[in-house]
Structure 1
Amino acid sequence: MKEYETITEISGPLVYAEVDEPVGYDEIVEIETPGGETKRGQVLESEEGVVAIQVFEGTTGIDRNASVRFLGETLKMPVTEDLLGRVLDGSGQPIDGGPEIIPDERRDIVGAAINPVSREYPEEFIQTGVSSIDGMNTLVRGQKLPIFSASGLPHNDLALQIARQATVPEEGGEDDDGSEFAVIFGAMGITQEEANEFMDDFERTGALERSVVFMNLADDPAVERTVTPRLALTTAEYLAFEKDYHVLVVLTDMTNYCEALREIGAAREEVPGRRGYPGYMYTDLAQLYERAGRIKGEDGSVTQIPILTMPGDDDTHPIPDLTGYITEGQIMMDRDLNSQGVQPPVDVLPSLSRLMDDGIGEGLTREDHADVSDQMYAAYAEGEDLRDLVNIVGREALSERDNKYLDFADQFEAEFVDQGFDTNRSIDETLEIGWDLLSTLPKTELNRIDEDLIEEHYREDAAAEGDETAEEVSAD
């Protein structure tokens, strides 16, 4: 281990130093300030005679008299099953006042790519307890399913709800292969108020016992934000593939992560890509998202729910755009539903889970799941189209059939989507609500459901109530 006092430049989060021997990319660095403070960094760029170091704790206090030590290894995460129930900062240091972590091993945070040949195809259901996800955009073990939100929307509340409610379907939170369920929660660039809200909820509900929480705050250095999700995913991979846990990784907010990439790119004077973001942002995001999955012969799995706020509510912005290319669908939150008081305000029409069809159906959830989901989607879409028509011609100009679809759309939002952030619905409860809603439509309209299922689940009393409502609307 060599020590240098050859710092030549300090630019934002970067420190440049001269060296007289080769230094490896991503190598960990310790910088000791003249005041005696030691800060950690990572080699970001290594050229002949000069290295660029990104400092995790920020460059405050560092000057040209500081000493630089190259440790000869990359950043590693100390992993152990005892991490469950612990709260760590964005660089993996405990901040909960608990005992020192005694790791089973230390793992490189970059991780190892899963060989596509070794990947197990995701097709096993995860129950989040949220009807708009479980019923309409089902999450599957090993999937990466992001939530697209916007500034001011309650995506944090939805993240907390999923973190405390998510489980494999079997009673007690254990799968039939004996695997337990765990949550890794990685927060990047959040405010202290949000951090307090997260921790209060984790402690109040007892969800912390099966969780590992990584907290990177808004006033922490942006460079640390680039490390936080990698530490979280390294912990998830250890629990999944060494300890056989089914691990759900919730990462919020990926927009803050990408802003950190842009800040570092600007400090390095890189040629910017779209809207000033680095040209390699697609590759960087893929390195994170592709760490979700299942491996043949392993009982555990890593499932990801990244959350991002779309700048300006723009789904063509580079962050959601690139995320959509890499991941297997998206859950869209809607500002209009939020203004109406719908909780959670999930818009099921632009939402999508590309692996849903493989994770539902007979033996996986319920045999009527796929048909109910398809029929509700079609009915709600027709009701939404008719709302636009009502604004032009008025409701009294519509037929009795059209009024039924308008009523369905209203009831779908009020009874199916709007469940609050504290309600945990099983998949059976979700589908029973779906049947209650579909039964307000005539049987002849249920053209996406098998006739045997209609005979088994259709509610004649709900259909009668729907007819009475339609007659009242017609009379008005």
Structure 2
Amino acid sequence: MAVNRDYIFQPRMSYRTVSGVNGLLVILDDVKFPKYAKIVNLCLHDGTIRSGQVLEVSVSKAVVQVFEGTSGIDAKNTVCEFTGDILKSPVCEDMLGRVFNESAKPIDKGPTVLAKDFLDIQGQPINPHSRIYPEEMIQTGISAIDIMNSIARGQNIPIFSAAGLPRNEIAAQICRQGGLVKVPGKSVLDDHDDNFAIVFAAMGVNMETAHFFKQDFEENGSMENVCLFLNLANDPTIERIITPRLALTAAEFLVYQCEKHVLVILTDMSSYAEALREVSATREEVPGRRCFPGYMYTDLAKIYERAGRVEGRNGSITEIPILTMPNDGMYLFYGSGILFKVICSIDTYHSPYSRFDRLHY
């Protein structure tokens, strides 16, 4: 039964019509005018509140994907409230130097971050006509990248790795040594170190890796310039899909409203793709190659295409996705867009002279 509530902006509807629970999905019947991608709050019998998002709608039925998992959800006593709003992330400049979970909540025991704005995590598409061609360089401190595969501001360039290679050490090294390269004729403020920030998103990592990133950033003094998002391997799968979007939303705020040059590092995108596969299997969709969903490339493109520079803004978003290729296969997650593969034959954590073999496909 639906209950109307009077809100100033939009009324909310509550239901006790859960007809089934399947994996991460909750199925609701007798829903009035359900809308795709809207946020749903689920109140359990013990008072616990969980959040979800509408994945599918059909006449009066709605399929809701629960972010925190469906364990403990009782079909009879669970109250589902349709908020009528989309998933948004709180953003502000004070996010730099802080550590957040996959729900954009601080987990570093620091003070609460006061949001300056709430932005849609899906972002806004960039008009191709408004894009500026990437020309100005961002240094990583790794000679093999800076000399042979230079990264420009606003570029999207991946690092491909294989199981057992030190991709986490390379990602941490880029955060420690990354910075802007001064361009003759440009404003001094535009190339100043204070105008550069890093947004780091780790997906599906274990506790040891998460501790390594936090400890490395803090010990080397780079934490004050980094916004860190952590999604652990034991966290719900669906939250792994949200993590890179939260990171890019924070980066877009720093770029378009604070006019900073932001480097976004996403690791490991293979964990993200596996989360897509798990959610797709739960929804019983027709699988593609290696059981990954057929829309995986489209979903990844929504993430990668958020990098770039826009006319009228001084800031830029530069993306470095790091991927661990299954069985060392080299085109599953990027098609023909492969630039280089990490082949580290020495200790890259203590030495910047790692080898990068250039690949041509």
Q: TM-score, normalized by length of structure 2?
A: 0.91
Structure with greater helix share of residues: 1
Is the 8 Å Cα contact of residues 56 and 224 (structure 1) preserved in structure 2?
yes
What is the one-letter code of the residue matched to 1:147? I
| Aligned position for 2:173 | 161
On the 8 A contact 1:332/1:351 being kept in 2, the answer is no
**Separation in structure 2 between the aligned mates of residue 168 and residue 93 of structure 1, nearest angstrom:** 29
Q: Does 1:195 align with 2:207?
A: no
Question: Cα offset for 1:178?
Answer: 2.8
After superposition, what is the alpha-carbon deviation per residue over 1:273-313, rounded to whole angstroms, capped at 9, x for unaligned?
A: 11101100111000000000000111000000000100111
Query: Would you say how many aligned residue pairs link Structure 1 and Structure 2?
Result: 343
What SS class does the counterpart of residue 339 from structure 2 fall into?
strand
Aligned residue for 1:103, secondary structure, equals coil
Q: Is the 8 A contact 1:332 1:346 kept in 2?
A: no
Give the Cα–Cα distance (whole angstroms) in 1 for the partners of residues 187 and 167 of structure 2.
Answer: 28
Q: Which structure 2 residues correspond to residues 5-404 of structure 1 after superposition, within 5 A?
A: 5-64=16-75, 65-170=77-182, 176-178=188-190, 180-316=195-331, 318-319=332-333, 321-322=334-335, 324-325=336-337, 329-334=338-343, 337=345, 345-350=354-359
Q: Deviations over 1:110-137 (max 9, x none)?
A: 1110000100110101111100000110
Counterpart residue type for residue 144 of structure 1: N
Question: Partners in 2 of 1:217 and 1:126 — Cα distance?
Answer: 29
Superposed CA deviations along residues 80-137 of structure 1, whole A, max 9, x for unmatched, are 1111111100111111111111111100011110000100110101111100000110
Q: Is the 8 A contact 1:43 1:54 kept in 2?
A: yes
| Distance across 2 between alignment mates of 1:5 and 1:340 | 56
Preserved contact between residue 339 and residue 358 of structure 2 (Cα < 8 Å): no
Please tell me whether the aligned partners of residues 17 and 52 of structure 1 are also in contact (alpha carbons under 8 angstroms). Answer: yes
Distance in 2, matches of 1:311 and 1:198, equals 24
CA gap of 1:351–1:231, structure 2 versus 1, over 3 A, is: farther
Contact residue 199 and residue 227 of structure 2 kept, 8 A: yes
Q: Which residue of 2 aligns with 1:388?
A: none
Contact 1:79 1:235 in 2 (8 A): yes
Partner of 2:7: none
Give the residue type in structure 2 aligned to 1:330.
Answer: L
Query: How far off is 1:347 after superposition?
Result: 2.4
User: Contact 1:154/1:344 (CA < 8 Å) preserved in 2?
Assistant: no
User: Could you list the runs of 5+ residues in structure 1 that have no partner in the other structure?
Assistant: 353-476
Q: What residue identity is the alignment partner of 2:52?
A: G
- Evaluate the alpha carbon distance shift between residue 46 and residue 182 of structure 1 in structure 2; reply closer, same or farther with a 3 A threshold: same
1:237 is paired with a residue whose SS is: helix
Shift of 1:344: 5.9
Q: Deviations over 1:423-459 (max 9, x none)?
A: xxxxxxxxxxxxxxxxxxxxxxxxxxxxxxxxxxxxx
Check whether the contact 1:22–1:48 (CA below 8 A) recurs between aligned residues. yes
